[in-house]
Structure 1
Amino acid sequence: MNDQSRQTRWLLLVALVVQFMVALDMSVVNVALPDMRAGLGFSAEGLLWVVNAYALAFGGLLMLGGRLADLLGSRPVLTGGLALFGAASLAGGLAQSPGALIAARAVQGVGAAALAPVAFALIAIAFPAGPERSRALGLWGMAGAAGGAVGVLAGGVLTDAAGWRAVMLVNVPIVAFALIASLRTGPVSGPARTGARLDVAGALLATGGTTLLVLGLVGTSSHPWGSARTLTTLGGAALLLAAFVAVELRTASPLLRPGLLKGRPVLTANLFCLLLSSGQFAAFYFVSLCLQQVFGYGPTAAGAAFLPFCVGVVIGSVIATRTVARLGTRRLLATGGVLAALGIAGFAATARADGTFLTSILGPSLVAAIGIGMCFVPLGTAATTDVVPGETGMASGLLNSSRQVGGSLGLAVLVTVAARVTGGATGRDELVQGYAAAFWVAAGLLATATLAALVLLPRERGAGTAATPGTGSAGVPVAGPENSQKNSAGGVDPAVARSTQG
């Protein structure tokens, strides 16, 4: 193995570790929330901000993080994001007050907003379009799935064994390993763009608009859709995002070039990602609730029940890597979407108060996970078709923003659906009816994503078309189950509902 090949493999390892860690932190904190409340004296409302602070910073800064990589170079932003994430994790693990922990979680979100789009941009630089990039995309999806599944399980194990601080401190050795490993990657890095300046007005408007949008969506569990707070927050988000579009149309160096979405593959990838995340995150949130509230599983057992999902994603990613050149982006994405929709529908069809893991969870989990795993490679391909190297971070930040907003929107809608069906009842039969309704809606969202892929993506004429996208590559949405805590009001815990956007 020559030096260049060795450096490339080290770079891939760093990117996969980063993806694993970001996915891990989306779910590892959830089980520890009650212990955090008892240990630091959180109020019920204050506890929500342990999750919300991360979600808002992460969702609001994703596009800015991606664009900084284009302007400054991928390597500096990756290193800075790792250092920031590690320092915030250490500070959170040592926090002595609610405010200190919330601040640490917010800074973690800032670091994650840099890491999520930038790490994958480095993969795009290191691996040429074709089979090598397809394999890297498959591994990227596996890392995200593993992080989400391990986070659910590790959160319970770490909290039981070492207390809530362990779920924050676990990131420190991971960051240290990634920083040390990055020294072995050599000079592989995307160049900074000389002469280009950061679109400050666009950055402020995009960050403010996205933050308000996520804040409005994650608040719908405690504030109804028609409440003054929700309407004001979402209305403010709409105004800021409209102003952002107006600014981007006139600036010479935009944060998001409007023409980027004129390409049908890029547009389709972001729409598919939005719908996929909307259905997937909310569906697995309700699976977690069903395991704990209906089947009586403890947090650790519920986490272990998600491991087949991780296996399924690995299988789906391998299938996609081996078939993308033959099937093409359009057919592979549609196939994955159909399987994912069928799997989620399977949760609805088999949901019963007297159900078991074998009869209600295992089969649908595997089918949905294989379908979701098959989507990673074609999503990464479509999201960067015809994207120039100087806009790789831009495309990545956009796709990750679609994922974040989709997860927030899907959870907010499906929580409302389930709550209306249960009517506040907490009996097992009523809860199952609410969860089943949410699963059916989630399956519908995934079916809509499949239809969008079939209608919008152009037909590939020959084998191998999908394996030769444009010169850039964007982040692939994280697929990971989210954990939950028990709640006595209709089975939906607002504190945990926020976690699926983090």
Structure 2
Amino acid sequence: MSVSSALPENSREALPGPGERPAPPEPPARLGGRSAAVLAVLCGAIFLEGIDVAMLNVALPSIRADLGMSTGALSWVMSAYVLGYGGFMLLGGRTADLLGRRRMFLGWLTVFVLFSGLGGLATEGWVLILARFVTGLSAAFMTPAGLSIITTAFPEGPRRNRALLVYAGTAAAGFSLGLVAGGLLTAVGWRWVFFAPVLLAGALLAAAVPLIPRDAAPQRAGGRFDLAGAAAATGAMLLLVFGVVRIGEPGARVGTTAAVLAGGLALLAVFTVVERRSPAPLVRLGVLRSGPLLRANLGAVLFAGSFFGFQFTATLYLQDLRGWSPLQTGLALLAIGVDSVLAPTLTPKLVERFGNARVILGGFLLAALSYGLFLPVGVDWTYPMMFPTMLLTGLAFALAYGPLTIAATEGIAEEEQGLAGGLLNTSFQFGAALGLSVVTTVDLAALGSGATALEGFRAALVVPVVSAVLGAVVAATGAGRRRA
């Protein structure tokens, strides 16, 4: 046996032949040229999605006062978006693989522009709820298409990792900066919370048309689209997300919610049977046997649940209990946005040195510490007492969010990158909805048992801590494995 044949396949390519010069070292993971411009457009789209959601959170009280909406109807302004986003994300990710990533991205970005504008023009609550549902639907198709464009445009390795971490940092910046922007725009008029994304999305669309390369949709086996699988998957996700959203709604009947969740699980079982028998399955079930992918998606559920549960509870504490304005609240949470700086700078170095799993574990541990520090919050806490939690939360986000994205798409075949992105974003959305519902349920239960508002918030804050600890346990199962 020769020396080269005893080496791994990727190692043989590096051996120079007789008279050949050694191969030059791999270039540094820098992004430039047209690829950087494409990445900028895709980052702009995920920033748009994040800032759109965050700004609306701040504007809800003004919308209720102007449109005369009830509290229950107002909650559906947010829930309708989550329902459209989470319900269709899996279908959106696979459709990008089958029908073309560029086509899906540009087409649904156009829909996003139109219906965000409709939300700004709404004079009735039902029109606004409809607009938010379709906006969430468009994001469900646009977001996984954008992510899969990145994972197919950059080869697996340091350059793709850096691109994904820049992408993740931009998404996080949208969430944190959106709180401040929402406060500023709401002071002018809540309708600008919808019109501003229209302007940004229009600029992105104009840049994306010439920049994003054309792609040919892969041929499907037998030339058929798995309609039965698509219907079962979408129905299952819609029912599961709807059931999770109802968990935290005041006055929601337990029996009805349980029936909705059971229906979602039943459709999920039907979907599994359909995919096993289909000659051209919407989802190749074998992809779900990947340990890193499963850990990444479970980690995404727990991380999103802890983060959004904490952010929601902290926002209510600052505005309802302390009486802070939306702008003051946004500025208080702005420190979380440090992840937009650390994700593309510090995180790539940590991933290269320690590996994804260990960096993710560090992110979960920091998140648990961060939320734990906020547990004894009082009515007289000054902002310097809150600042360590805000800063550590941003650092935890920088360490966990991007590496979870890398782990969920690493080692997945190119023709299934959209599916992997759809699964990950579904997990994030499902986790966010679950986290919001559980903290709301715990808070209401505490108040119903005679607790004060502050005691209710403290009880709700236990949920993010527990979720972060569970996420650390999941991450630890992968962190102990030897790096490839």
Q: Given the two structures, how large is their TM-score scaled by the length of structure 1?
A: 0.85
Question: In the alignment, what sits opposite 2:90?
Answer: 63
Change (3 A) 1:419 1:169: same
Q: Is 1:244 matched up with 2:266?
A: no
The answer to whether the aligner puts 1:274 opposite 2:301 as a matched pair is: yes
CA deviation map 1:211-261 (0-9, x unaligned)? 111111112233567622212211211211121122122222222222112
Whether 1:174 and 2:200 are equivalent positions in the alignment is yes
Confirm whether residue 377 of structure 1 aligns to residue 402 of structure 2.
yes
Q: Distance in 1 between matches of 2:357 and 2:249?
A: 40
1:460 partnered with 2:482? yes
CA contact (8 A) 1:314 1:370 kept: no
Give 2:427's aligned amino acid: S
Q: How does 1:491-502 map to 2 (within 5 A)?
A: none
Contact 1:122-1:190 at 8 Å conserved across structures: no
- Aligned twin of 2:254: 227
Give the C-alpha shift of residue 97 in structure 1: 2.5
Deviates more, 1:147-156 or 1:395-404: 147-156
Q: Which runs of 5+ in 1 are unaligned?
A: 466-502
Residue among 299, 314, 318 paired with 2:345: 318
Residues in 1 aligned to 2:143 and 2:448: alpha-carbon distance in whole angstroms: 38
Q: Which amino acid aligns with 2:406?
A: T
* RMSD of Structure 2 on Structure 1 (CA): 2.0
For 1:272 and 1:155, the matched residues in 2 are separated by: 29
The 1:310/1:176 distance shift into structure 2, 3 A limit, reads same
Task: Tell me if 1:433 matches 2:459.
Answer: no
- How far apart are residue 425 of structure 1 and its match? 5.5
Residue pair 2:249, 2:437 contacting (<8 A) in 1 also: no
The structure that has the greater radius of gyration is: 2
Mapped pair 1:306 → 2:333:
yes
**Alignment of 1:442 onto 2:457:** no
What secondary structure is seen at the aligned counterpart in 1 of 2:355?
helix
Tell me if the contact between 2:47 and 2:174 (Cα under 8 Å) persists in the aligned partners. yes
Query: Could you tell me how far 1:424 is from its partner in structure 2?
Result: 6.5
Aligned residues: 452
SS of the aligned residue for 2:280 comes to coil
Q: Corresponding residue for 1:47?
A: 74
Inter-partner Cα distance in structure 1 for 2:91 and 2:166: 26
Using the alignment, how far apart are the partners of 2:333 and 2:148 within structure 1? 29
1:377 offset after TM fit, Å? 3.2
Query: Where does structure 2 lack aligned partners over 5 or more consecutive residues?
Result: 1-30
Rounded to whole Å, the distance in 2 between the matches of 1:273 and 1:294 is 30
The answer to whether residue 44 in structure 2 is matched with residue 17 in structure 1 is yes
Identity of aligned residues (%): 37
- Give the partner amino acid of 1:155: G
Secondary structure of the 1:319 match is helix
In the alignment, which residue of structure 1 is the partner of 2:168? 141
The CA deviation at 1:64 is 0.9
Residue 282 and residue 390 in structure 1: after superposition, are their counterparts in 2 closer, same or farther (change >3 A)? same
Cross-structure match for 1:126: 153
Q: Given residue 193 of structure 1, which amino acid in structure 2 is its aligned partner?
A: P
Residue 250 and residue 133 in structure 1: after superposition, are their counterparts in 2 closer, same or farther (change >3 A)? same
Which one-letter code corresponds to 2:466 in the other structure? Answer: G
**The residue matched to 2:482 in structure 1 has which SS?**
coil
Aligned position for 1:193: 218
Structure 2 length as normaliser, TM-score?
0.89
1:5 to 1:195, Cα distance in 2 relative to 1, 3 A: same
The aligned counterpart of 2:431 is 406
Residues 110-169 of structure 1, C-alpha deviations (whole Å, 9 max, x = no match): 1111122111111112222222112212211221111111221222211211x2211111
1:101 to 2:128 alignment: yes
Between 1 and 2, higher relative CO (CA 8 Å, sep ≥ 6) is seen in 1
User: Could you say which residue in structure 2 is the equivalent of 1:423?
Assistant: 448
Query: How far apart in 2 are the matches of 1:89 and 1:377?
Result: 27
Partner of 1:343, secondary structure, is: helix
Q: Distance in 2 between matches of 1:451 and 1:137?
A: 24
